[in-house]
Chain A
Amino acid sequence: SAVISQKPSRDICQRGTSLTIQCQVDSQVTMMFWYRQQPGQSLTLIATANQGSEATYESGFVIDKFPISRPNLTFSTLTVSNMSPEDSSIYLCSVGPGPIPGGYTFGSGTRLTVV
């Protein structure tokens, strides 16, 4: 299965600023996904990023708040814009499915704290 390098692993940011999270995959993949895990809650899909087209956002998430880039088949970024304390979460990128049906691979996550 693919190996994902995600960075930064953690950051503490001031409210009103923006943070860009990067995911690099060791192989070409068609679909990349961005998730958010708020404290004590499930992983929630933010958007699906396909190379060469605009990301598809899930209900409750908008491009102005979470702009995504997908310049090629191995790389994607998620920006958390104009941050507030409510954005404090773990953000994860994911690719798949892999050889095992449904077996998506996840990055190690970015733990974001907004103060």
Chain B
Amino acid sequence: DQQVKQNSPSLSVQEGRISILNCDYTNSMFDYFLWYKKYPAEGPTFLISISSIKDKNEDGRFTVFLNKSAKHLSLHIVPSQPGDSAVYFCAASVTSGSRLTFGEGTQLTVNP
């Protein structure tokens, strides 16, 4: 039972353009959502999060949008840079600080 799904295993964009990574979830109890970025041979690093009481959270080039009715969230990166090339994991928890459920990840490649 995959409660968090990232249906796109890979995404390729040009430098300077927008990258949009998508994530869907099925468990309506989830109320806290996070994005992690992972480079090869490194552990995932926390990128940005959003609580279910919000529909948008922005941090520099990164914005996360949450659509609770659709059980969908997305991560926008603009402008995309080659250094953003990594695997991005979506994660969700029932409450902030409780165990995380991860999606399968999306490999983002930003081409110069």
Which A residues contact B (CB, under 8 angstroms)? 1, 4, 6, 9, 33, 40-45, 48, 92, 94, 96-98, 100-109, 111
Contacts and interface: CB of A to CB of B under 8 A. Distances in A.
Q: Which 4 A-B pairs have the closest CB atoms?
A: A106-B43, A101-B96, A103-B46, A42-B102
Given A42-B102, A43-B100, 8 more contacts: A43-B44, A97-B96, A100-B46, A101-B97, A102-B49, A102-B91, A106-B36, A111-B41
Nearest to A101: B96
Contacts of B46: 1, 98, 100, 102-105
A102 B97 contact: yes
Nearest to A6: B43
Interface in B9-33: 9, 32
Interface string B57-72: 0000000000000000
Contacts of B97: 96-97, 101-102
B100 A45 contact: yes
A103 to B, nearest CB: 4
7 contacts: A43-B102, A44-B102, A94-B43, A100-B49, A106-B43, A106-B45, A107-B43
Interface residues of B, number: 25
A62 to B, nearest CB: 18
A92 B43 contact: yes
Contact of A109 (B43, B45, B89, B93): B43
A102 B32 contact: yes
A92 B41 CA distance: 11
A42 B41 contact: no
A97 B34 CA distance: 12
Contacts of A108: 41-43
Contacts of B34: 102-103
A109 B36 CA distance: 15
